[in-house]
């Protein structure tokens, strides 16, 4: 057994505290990872606030990268010293969804969240955020949650691939399947939304409309590929249609997770277009569509889990885009913080400030 420091939330809505945690020894099929960097994601905020149901108390963080320091019995393909990014949604490769080309919907991927990850000083058992617990100096995860990356990729860059980039770029490439010459609106410019903007540019979209209430994000959005920037409002759909040949965009990608922004994405899309919902919202937030508009507009409204991605296949493709200069990872980081600053970073997320805060260990 060993001890580590981790960012912990004991109950929904309580402050985030850095606490000492005792971790068990690495068991069969497990890997211990010394963290190098971890991104602060909106899902961490949703979990800490209680919007996302999760066993509590929990060690936060699910988007990160580090180096392997121990491997358990039966682990193959990973060795001490390997650089890995953490996959919070590791497929089992055995369930119906995995066998039918949908590993991102794996029926067993959430099992790791329910396990006891460590013990607090007072003896309280602790659960890992989405099975990962990336906001810790060290973490123990199932071997399937580790994706090896080449040693020349900086961990600070690789960390973002684990959630924001796989989700945002994947939503455009795998779920929406944007084609060259099409038009795209991205609603919500956090880390995932900014990755989706890049995904739209890489896919060859010629009109890319970035939408966010924080006007200071315009310069960054344009540098990553946006051709236009809009702030939300009751007339958003009209303004989007004006920029998209009067019809609306071929694709809208919603990266917020609210009924109002999902509705806006739907309304911004042309007849026959597709609105792809990436953001995770609250179960109590009801979306309303009337019975006429669904057949009349012939739009598609689809959900997208984890960018409809398979990290084993998609991470190498993303790394090639990164090496070729097509995918900008460093620009997604608005500030670098320490473990003790996680609570403040979650507050910034709630207010919409910045893109991605990155914890460096």
- Co-location of 31 and 125 in the same domain: yes
* The pLDDT of residue 110 is above 70: no
193 touches 168 (CB < 8 A) = yes
Domain tally for the chain?
Answer: 2
- pLDDT tens digits, 27-38: 999 999 999 999
Q: What is the CATH number of the domain that holds 25?
A: 3.90.180.10
SS3 state at 1: coil
pLDDT the model gives residue 350: 78
181/178 Cα distance (integer angstroms): 9
Could you tell me if 142 and 173 lie in one domain?
no
Q: What is the number of alpha carbons within 13 Å of residue 53 lying toward its C-beta?
A: 4
pLDDT in tens, 47-105: 888 888 888 999 999 999 999 999 999 999 999 999 999 999 999 999 999 999 999 99
Residue 111 counted as domain residue: yes
Does residue 192 share a domain with residue 73? no
In a domain, 333, yes or no: yes
Query: Do the domain assignments include residue 154?
Result: no
Same domain (yes/no): 25, 96: yes
pLDDT in tens, 171-211: 999 999 999 999 999 999 999 999 999 999 999 999 999 99
Asked whether residue 107 falls in the same domain as residue 174, the answer is no
pLDDT at 355: 74
Q: Are residues 135 and 169 in the same domain?
A: no
Q: What is the mean pLDDT of residues 320-334?
A: 93
Q: Are residues 144 and 188 in the same domain?
A: no
Q: What is the pTM of this model?
A: 0.92
Between 236-243 and 259-268, two packed helices, what is the crossing angle to 10 degrees?
30
pLDDT band at 108 (very low <50, low <70, confident <90, very high): confident
Look at residue 343 and tell me whether its pLDDT is greater than 70: yes
On the question of pLDDT at 111 being above 70, the answer is no
- Cα 257 versus chain centre, distance: 12
DSSP string, 40-94: E-HHHHHHHHTSS---SSEE---EEEEEEEEE-TT--S--TT-EEEE-SS---SS
Query: Can you give the residue range of the structural domain that contains 99?
Result: 2-148+329-360
Same-domain pairing of 177 and 204:
yes
CATH of the domain at 221: 3.40.50.720
In a domain, 323, yes or no: no
Write the burial class of residue 144 (CB in 10 Å: 0-12 exposed, 13-18 middle, 19+ buried): buried
Instruction: Provide the 3-class DSSP secondary structure of residue 215.
Output: helix
CA distances from 324 to 309, 317, 320, 328, 335 (A): 21, 11, 6, 10, 25
Residues 298, 228, single domain; the answer is yes
Strands 17-23, 118-120: pairing is antiparallel
Residues 138, 173 within the same domain: no
């Amino acid at each position: 057994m060993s001890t580590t420091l981790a960012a912990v939330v004991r109950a929904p809505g309580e402050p985030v505290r850095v606490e000492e945690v005792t971790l068990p020894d690495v068991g069969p099929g497990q890997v211990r990872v010394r963290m190098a960097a971890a991104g602060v994601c909106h899902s961490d905020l949703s979990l800490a606030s209680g919007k996302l149901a999760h066993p509590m108390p929990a060690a936060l963080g699910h988007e990160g990268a580090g180096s392997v320091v121990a491997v358990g019995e039966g682990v193959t393909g990973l060795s001490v010293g390997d650089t890995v990014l953490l996959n919070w949604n590791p497929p089992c490769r055995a369930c119906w969804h995995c066998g039918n080309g949908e590993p991102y919907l794996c029926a067993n991927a959430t099992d790791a969240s329910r396990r006891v990850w460590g013990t607090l000083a007072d003896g309280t058992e602790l659960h890992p955020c989405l099975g990962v617990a990336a906001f810790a100096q060290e973490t123990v995860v199932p071997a399937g949650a580790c994706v090896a990356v080449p040693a020349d990729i900086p961990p600070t860059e690789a960390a973002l691939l684990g959630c924001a980039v796989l989700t945002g770029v994947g939503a455009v490439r795998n779920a929406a399947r944007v084609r060259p010459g099409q038009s795209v609106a991205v609603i919500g410019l956090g880390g995932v939304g900014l990755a989706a903007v890049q995904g739209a540019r890489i896919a060859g979209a010629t009109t890319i409309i970035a939408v966010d209430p924080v006007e200071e994000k315009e310069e960054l959005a344009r540098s990553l590929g946006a051709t236009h920037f809009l702030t939300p409002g009751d007339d958003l759909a009209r303004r989007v249609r004006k920029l998209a040949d009067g019809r609306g965009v071929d694709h809208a990608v919603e990266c917020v997770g609210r009924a109002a922004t999902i509705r806006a994405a739907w309304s911004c899309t042309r007849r026959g277009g597709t609105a792809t919902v990436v953001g995770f919202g609250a179960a109590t937030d009801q979306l309303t569509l009337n019975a006429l508009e669904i057949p009349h507009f012939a739009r598609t409204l689809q959900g997208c889990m984890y960018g409809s991605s398979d990290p084993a296949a998609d991470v190498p493709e993303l790394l090639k885009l990164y090496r070729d200069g097509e995918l900008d990872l460093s620009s997604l980081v608005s500030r670098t913080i320490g473990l003790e600053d996680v609570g403040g970073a979650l507050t910034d997320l709630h207010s919409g400030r910045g893109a991605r805060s990155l914890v460096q260990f």
